[in-house]
Structure formats: C-alpha cells, structure tokens
Amino acid sequence: RLAAAFPVDAAATMKLLLVNYEYPPVGGGAAVASRSLARALQRRGHEVAVLTARTGDEPAVRVEDGVTVHRVPCLRRAVHDIGLFGALTFVVMAALRLPGLLRATRFDAALFYFALPTGLLAPLWRMLTRRPYVVALRGSDVPGYASEPALVRLHALLTPLTGHILRHAAAVVANSDGLRELAERAFPTQPIRVIANGVEGECFSPAPRPSPDPPVLRALCVARLIPRKGVDLLVEALADPRCGNVVAEVVGCGPELDTLRRACRERGVDARVHFLGFVDNVELPDVYRRADVFVLPSRSESCSMALLEAMSCGLPVVASRIGGMPELVRDGVNGFLVPIDDAAAIAASLGALSGSAELRRRMGTASREIVDHAHSWVRVADGYGGLFVEVAK
C-alpha cells in the first residue's frame, strides 16, 4: 500500500496532465476526485492541466483555480451517465486534441482516470511523448466490479486490451485495497498500489448537532440511481416497523428513478422518501448537514466519494460490507457495516441510531476523525506527487 507520504519540494515540481472523460459540473465521484486532486497538486506547486469532456456551454479552455482545463465535445447521455457512445465520442475527440496540447506543453507525466475508456488514449500519449503515464483504477473499469450485463460483456471482450494498457503504465493505482484485490484477480501479474480518495474537509464540515432526539431520523443517500447502488434496499428498509420514524432524502439521478418511485408507493413509504435529483457540489454540503445518518447500501463500491463527504460532515454511516467500504467504516465505531442485499440489517442499524442521540454523536465524531487522519487531499496529492517523481526519473 502506498502511504501517501511523499513530501514535494519546489525542485521536484512537475508538469502534469490529468485525463478523465468526466469532470465537474458533470459526472460522479471520479469527476469530483479528479478535480480535487488537480487542485491539490497545483497547490503543491505542480503545473497541472486537465483534458476532459465538454458537455454544455463551457469554453474549450479555461483556468479553474490555477488548473488549465481543456474540454472536447462529448455526446453525454445524462449528468451521471456518459453511455458507451458518449465514451467513444470523448476518446475520439480527445485523441484529436491531444497532439496539439502536447506540442504546446511538454508534460512530465500523465494520469489517466479509468483504464477504460480514458486509458484508450494512453498508447497515443506514449507514442507522442515517450513519457510515463499512470492509470487510476476507479471500479467500473475493473472486471468483476459491476454486474450490469452490458459491462460484463464489455469486460469479457476488452480485458486483453485493458491488460495491455496496464502493463505499459509506469504505475497502476487503485483507490482502495478492496479494488486492488479485485483487479489483481483479473490481472494477477500486474503490480497495483493504493492511494485512497480524499475529501474537501473545509467545505464538507459538520453542522452543530442538537442534543435532544428529533421527532424523525433524517437519512440521506447520495448515489446514482442504478441497481448497483442498492437504493432499493433503503426503500425496503424504510417499510420495516423499526424505521417508522425515519425519513429519507435521495440525491442523484439515473434510469432507476421510476422503478424506485413505484417501489416506494408499493411499500407505502412514498411520503417518507424524497428524491432530490442532481444537486450541485456547491449546495451538497448543506444537504449532508441537515441529515442525521448517511446510508449507502451499494452492491459494489471502491472508495465512495459520497461516503467520505458524509463522514467529513460528521455523520454516522450505514454501509454495505463490500469492496472498499470496510476501509472507511469501522463497524460499531463510526457506523454499521451490513451484509450485501440485507434490507433487514439496514433497518436494524437505522433503528439503533434512531434510538440514541449519544450513539449518533459518538459515531459522527469518529467519522470526522477518520477523514481528518487519512483522507485529506494534501495527503493524496503528496502520494500522487511522489509517485510521479518516482516514475519520471
């Protein structure tokens, strides 16, 4: 495991290119992570540029918080869903943009978020620059991570290509030990390091907590509305008598919205579940602060940005014992880990939290302490910065 403890001084600063098909204002956790890492690396003295997709009226080039962001056109399907065709359009347009970008700036190294689709650009980078590149695995680019039939078929077809991209990388990084272990099963000879996600602790900060028990327990889930995120299990749990005083807000969008609304009606909890849709990052901290507990019942997960944000806001958490979740949630300390696909266990955990303000306070405090200790972006940037210095020698 890479401990993210490489001090970076002025003599070691570098020109770095980060490539990701998603970047705020659109995308999920990887988009937020890539922006936060780019900013943190820039603050550490590196010169950072980003190559990403352009999905609205954003300019083709703009400096954002010291980071030069280059955007290419992309036919994205939705805010949280690029779709296969959208991914291919990004790769094609980015491949056309990359040579000019490299003529203008001599980068020392590149970081490709996702082995696929973004890593498809890595051979072009290598051919044009002869400089090293690093691949950051995120989850959906690893065979066996997701059970969606389309992704399973795609991995079956493209695993040899993924292996080729990883073999020629100067380093491959996973964002959790759980994801590393999964990737090693697919690519057993590939060395993989771990640098976990970080979180903006100043932005995602706790709200003052009232001491008396509230009349209802406010549960929050921030996730794409797809089967893998398990939001249906939260709906099922709310129908349990132990959750009679629990109301839930769900932030996110996706193809499962109508199915989830129908499940709420069928289980008689539609008055207690509020779907908020997409919420901008500027407004998201206040959504966390008005919650009492965070729930993430995913069926697969690497190192959830939403979970880290909730912990940073001082929330106790209920999460599936899957992937990288046990690396963030210490069962009985800052929340509860529940078996995958177990709505009854979610209900029991919510019931326990509902009945004790002291338990919620203690677990919420522990959540923030875990984030402060191991998940600052300064720490993550030092880890990547040290890695770039190492591979560029």
Q: 344 is written with which tokens?
A: 């009854």
Q: How many CB atoms lie within 10 A of CB 209?
A: 14
Query: In DSSP terms, which residues pair with 199 in a beta bridge?
Result: 376
**Residue given tokens 């779907």 in the structure block:** 275
CA angle, residues 234, 236, 242, in degrees to nearest 5:
90
Residues 318 and 218: their CA atoms lie apart, in Å, by 13
Q: How many CB atoms lie within 10 A of CB 93?
A: 18
Checking if the pLDDT of 94 tops 90, the result is: yes
Q: What's the pLDDT tens digit per position in 240-293?
A: 999 999 999 999 999 999 999 999 999 999 999 999 999 988 899 999 999 999
Checking if the pLDDT of 365 tops 90, the result is: yes
pTM of this structure: 0.90
At 215 the pLDDT is 80
Confidence of residue 356 (pLDDT cuts 50, 70, 90): very high
At 156 the pLDDT is 87
Q: Which of 58, 54, 48 is nearest to 18 (CA)?
A: 48
Average pLDDT for 352-372: 95
Strands (E), 265-378: 273-277, 293-296, 317-320, 335-338
CA angle, residues 386, 391, 393, in degrees to nearest 5:
100
Confidence of residue 9 (pLDDT cuts 50, 70, 90): very low
CA angle, residues 66, 69, 71, in degrees to nearest 5:
170
Confidence of residue 10 (pLDDT cuts 50, 70, 90): very low
Residues 140 and 148: their CA atoms lie apart, in Å, by 10
Query: In DSSP terms, which residues pair with 235 in a beta bridge?
Result: none
